[in-house]
Amino acid sequence: MRSERNGCELKDDEIAERAIVLQVLRDDRDDERWVRVELEGEIYDIEPLAISEALERLREAGVVHLSGELVWASRCARHLDALGMVSI
Q: Encode pLDDT of 53-67 as tens digits.
A: 999 999 999 999 999
Distance of CA 25 to the CA centre of its chain: 8
Q: What angle do CA 83, 51, 56 make, to 5 degrees?
A: 70
Provide the CATH number for the domain around residue 43. Answer: 1.10.10.10
Domain membership flag for residue 71: yes
Instruction: Give the model confidence (pLDDT) of 12-47 as tens digits.
Output: 889 999 999 999 999 898 889 999 999 999 999 999
The domain in which residue 63 lies consists of 3-82
Q: What's the number of domains the chain is made of? A: 1
Domain membership flag for residue 67: yes
Domain membership flag for residue 88: no
The beta-strand segments (E) located in 6-61 are 8-10, 34-35
Beta bridge partners of 9: 4
What's the rounded Cα separation, in Å, for the pair 58 and 66?
10
Domain membership flag for residue 87: no
Collect all residues with Cβ–Cβ distance below 8 Å to 34 and sequence separation of at least 6. 23, 24, 70, 71, 72
The yes-or-no verdict on residue 4 having pLDDT over 80 is no
